[in-house]
Amino acid sequence: MQILAQLIVSGIAVGMIYGVIAFGYQLTFATSETLNFGQGEALMLGSLVGLTVVAVTGYWLMLPIVLAFGLLQGAVVERLGVRQAIKTKSESGWIMATIALGIIFKNMAENIWGRDALKFPSPLPETPLSFMGVNVLPMELVIVVGALGLMLAVEAFNRKSIYGKAVVATAADRDAAGLMGINTSVVITFSYALSSMTAAFAGVLVAPVTLTGASMGGVLGLKAFSVAIIGGLSSGMGVVVGGLILGITETLTGFYLSTGYKDVPGLVLLLLVLSLKPAGLFGRTAIKKV
Amino acid sequence: MRAHQFMLTLAATTMLAGVASAQPIKVGLTGPYTGGSASMGVSMRDGAKLAVAEINKAGGVLGRPLLLVERDDEAKNEVGVQIAQELINKEQVVATLGFINTGVALASQRFYQEAEIPVLNNVATGSLITQQFLPPKEKANYVFRFAANDLIQSAMIVDEAITRRGFKAPAILADSTNYGQLGREDLERALGKKGVKPVAVEKFNIGDTDMTAQLLRAKEANADVVLTYGIGPELAQIANGMAKLGWKRPLIGSWTLSMATFIDNAGPNGDGASMPETFIQVPNTPKRKAFIEAYQAAYKVDRMPSPVSAAQGYDSVYVLAAAITQAKSTDGAKIRTALENLTAKVEGVVTNYDHPFTATDHESVTANMPVFGLVKGGRVVPAHDEDVAGANALRLKSK
């Protein structure tokens, strides 16, 4: 029982990491039906910039700087990689462009920070807390709380503020929103900025636990992508649940089945979701009229 | 007096000029200088450069200076293959030093073998590396090694864990790469010879950040020691995961536990991890003292990123220089023959090389030479002081 609890707790911690990265995919998909395939790299850049800044400012002051950096980085991605594709209604141009930008960011990071895995200083003590025999790192609790907090803040912003309403309107119907006087291209740029901001925040949040480095975006970005598919790209709630499902299945299979097959059930789940409910567990099925 | 001094200066200048103007002897130097195994590649390169600088300062080889042609293989097999062809065909090197990664070595060596150019493998440990081109199937084997191979390391790990420290229930944690899985097989075989069956055999992937499942399985199997075959970052996650679960067991594993990425990322959690090392940064012989000081002065570091790689890289240059001198030629086949019958005794950092190779034995390191290192306070120190003291300090190849 204790073991099951420990596995679930660790699974939740890993799952929230996936979930908060996947949340970034969801943000841009909602407004523009495009994704930033360099989401993992946005995470990595945020975390490495954070690592450099943290030495000067300390952990808490570093956060707003990293958030600002994320906003900027996302806007750059949209301007360079996505805008043109949306304008010409290209079905796939943005895919290659965001992948290419991701590779460029990765190479830049390799030149600036090297390719070794680096340790990110933890703002909290690294001794585990124990609840009835289940151990958890303080930083893992911060990841869960921080990720949920960030996602709630973004959702609240979208639902309550006038700017957020423009985002929601664009998500609901881009053309209609345009006719209502909403500058949809600014909204899309903004959603990319917001998406990279969450990724950058996720980067500094998870780095004390996962280590950081130019290659950290690869595996995490990919896992988060399957989470986004499982949960549904159109649902913020879906990616959280998707992340938890993937994280917990990974640790459970690793323990009860075999650590050699740890990644398999997640992928099987992905295939099942794709074949039975392609929009994802929580996604709305959109009917495309032709 | 004046004239005498003048003549001396003149003689020295002409000698230097002679070395400088003579056609340099080109030697390839390939390893990952970027990427996950960069700390090993860079240390190996820096060690080799140090030796080349010393040799050139003393007049070079055959009156000619050595020139290293450095190439970054990024630990990628396909890049290694390209570099091999470039070094052979375009740069026309007389020999190549290098290879950190077993996969890159296995993919690239074929080209040197076909071109009859010796390869001095100074870090990669895969058991197969020196066995790829054995006579009589091939005319001669052009691959030599200066590192402790995985067979030696796995046997040492098991010896240390079971015999010397008396553990009964080992768990094996190995990564899913060739390196990890071949190492795991070697470990299981070595355990089998002692009649011990591992209580858990677990696998992890490169980039895994959570080791809860692997460690809990080992814990549930009541493992009393964890044997590892992986590389720095994931090994650090194992040490950190143990601290998180509050389940501390000694980590004993391959020499990658001495990588800076393990030591730095595991921090205090990595203390006590131990691994076989051909060289530990301890000045227990005059040669080692001189080498450590020269390295620290040249590269302005206190802790060498990977002392083993630096020492093996350094030694390989001196042995190659001795072979070229003996061959009186830069012809690949003649250098190989000289390496296999080296008469000069070469004083090295890892050991003193006295007939290090024969036609059938291309391994300069034997099982009696490495000692156990231990991570302590961010550095690798000898695990057992008696291993590196007195007559044990310098270990010669067993014949």
Question: What integer is the mean pLDDT of A169-196?
Answer: 86
CB nearest to A255's CB, from B205, B217, B233: B217
Mean pLDDT, residues A51-71: 90
Report which of residues B87 and B387 the model is more confident about.
B87
Clarify whether residues B354 and B217 are in a common domain.
no
Are residue B8 and residue B142 in the same domain, yes or no?
yes
Instruction: Quick: pLDDT tens for B74-86.
Output: 888 999 999 999 9
* B38, B212, B232 member nearest A10 (Cβ): B212
CA distance B176 to chain A (A): 8
Mean pLDDT across A87-111 = 86
B166 and B312 assigned to the same domain? no
Residue B191: the pLDDT is 95
Percent with pLDDT over 70 in chain A: 98
By three-state DSSP, how is residue B30 classified?
A: strand
Query: Band of the pLDDT at B136, cuts 50, 70, 90?
Result: confident
Q: Which of A42-51, A154-163, B316-325 has the lowest mean pLDDT?
A: A154-163
Residue B112's H or E segment, with its range, is: helix B102-115
Cα separation, B243 vs A63, in Å, equals 27
Interface residue B205 vs chain A (CB under 8 A): yes
E-strand stretches of chain A: 129-131, 134-136
Residue A235 pLDDT greater than 90, yes or no: no
Tell me which of B176, B212, B256, B262 to substitute to probe the interface with A (most A C-beta atoms closer than 10 Å). Answer: B212
Q: Which of A20-34, A139-153, A165-179, B161-175 reaches the highest mean pLDDT?
A: B161-175
Taking 80 as the threshold, does the pLDDT of residue B368 lie above it? yes
Question: Using CA atoms, how far apart are residues B50 and B42, in angstroms rounded to an integer?
Answer: 12
Q: Are B28 and B134 members of one domain?
A: yes
| The three-state (H, E, C) secondary structure of B274-300, written as one string | EEEECCCCCCCCHHHHHHHHHHHHHHC
Q: What is the pLDDT of residues B200-234, one digit of tens each?
A: 999 998 878 889 889 999 999 999 999 999 988 89
**pLDDT, position B386:** 83
**pLDDT tens-digit map of B285-344:** 999 999 999 999 999 999 898 999 999 999 999 999 999 999 999 999 999 999 999 999
Least Cα separation, residue B357 to chain A (angstroms): 35
pLDDT of residue B297: 95
Mutate to test the interface with A, among B265, B269, B306 (most CBs of A within 10 A): B265
- Cα separation, B19 vs A98, in Å, equals 54
- Asked if B336 contacts B140 with a C-beta cutoff of 8 angstroms, the reply is yes
Neighbours of A182 (CB within 10 A): 17
A26-40, A42-56, B36-50, B142-156: least confidently modelled range:
A26-40
The count of domains in chain B is: 2
How long is chain A?
A: 290
Note whether residue B399 is domain-resident.
no
For residues B238 and B385, membership in a common domain is answered with: yes
Q: What residues of A are in contact with residue B238 (Cβ under 8 Å)? A: none
Report the length, in residues, of chain B. 399
pLDDT for B11: 53
The answer to whether residue B237 neighbours chain A at the CB level (below 8 Å) is yes
- Per-residue model confidence (pLDDT) at position B13: 52
Q: What are phi and psi of B64, to 5 degrees?
A: -120, 145
**Residue A6 carries which side chain, given as an amino acid letter?**
Q
Range of the structural domain that residue B377 is part of: 151-277+372-392
> Residue A260: which of B203, B261, B264 has the nearest Cβ?
B203
Is B39 at the interface with chain A, CB within 8 A?
A: yes
Note the pLDDT of residue A286: 61
Pairing relationship of beta strands B95-98 and B25-31 according to DSSP bridges: parallel
Q: Does B103 touch chain A (CB under 8 A)?
A: no
- What is the least distance, in Å, from the CA of A135 to any CA of chain B? 6
Question: Would you call the peptide bond into B136 cis, given omega within 30 degrees of 0 as the criterion?
Answer: yes
With beta carbons less than 8 A apart as the criterion, state whether B382 and B284 touch. no
How much is the pLDDT for B362? 94
Assess whether B130 and B11 both reside in one domain. Answer: yes
Cα of first residue to Cα of last residue in chain B, in angstroms, is: 54
**For chain A, percent of residues with pLDDT exceeding 90:** 17
Task: Say whether residue A255 is in contact with chain B using an 8 A CB cutoff.
Answer: yes
Tell whether B377 is within 8 A of chain A (Cβ). no
Mean predicted lDDT score pLDDT of chain B? 90
Q: What's B180's domain CATH number?
A: 3.40.50.2300
Written as one string, the DSSP assignment of B333-380 is HHHHHHHHT--S-EE-SS-EESS---SS--BS--TTS-EEEEEETTEE
pLDDT higher at A66 or A280: A66
Look at residue B118 and tell me whether its pLDDT is greater than 80.
yes
Q: Does B101 touch chain A (CB under 8 A)?
A: no
ipTM, interface predicted TM-score of the complex: 0.83
| Alpha carbon of residue A55 to chain centroid | 25
Residue of A280, A216, A284 lying closest to A242 (CA atoms): A280
Structure confidence by residue, pLDDT tens digits, B159-199: 999 999 999 999 999 998 888 988 999 999 999 999 999 99
Q: Quick one: tokens of B50?
A: 């140090």
Asked if residue B398 belongs to a domain, the reply is: no
CB-CB contact of A13 with A136 (8 Å): yes
The one-letter amino acid code at A52 reads T
Q: Are B223 and B200 in contact (CB under 8 A)?
A: yes
Please tell me whether residues B383 and B242 are part of one structural domain: yes
**Could you tell me if B295 and B245 lie in one domain?**
no
Least confident of B11-25, B35-49, B225-239: B11-25
Structure tokens at B320: 């190659």
Q: Categorize the per-residue pLDDT at B6 as very low, low, confident or very high, splitting at 50, 70 and 90.
A: low
Chain-chain contact of B213 with A262 (C-beta, under 8 angstroms): yes
Tell me the pLDDT band of B1, cut-offs 50, 70 and 90. very low
Sign of CA dihedral B45, B280, B142, B329: positive
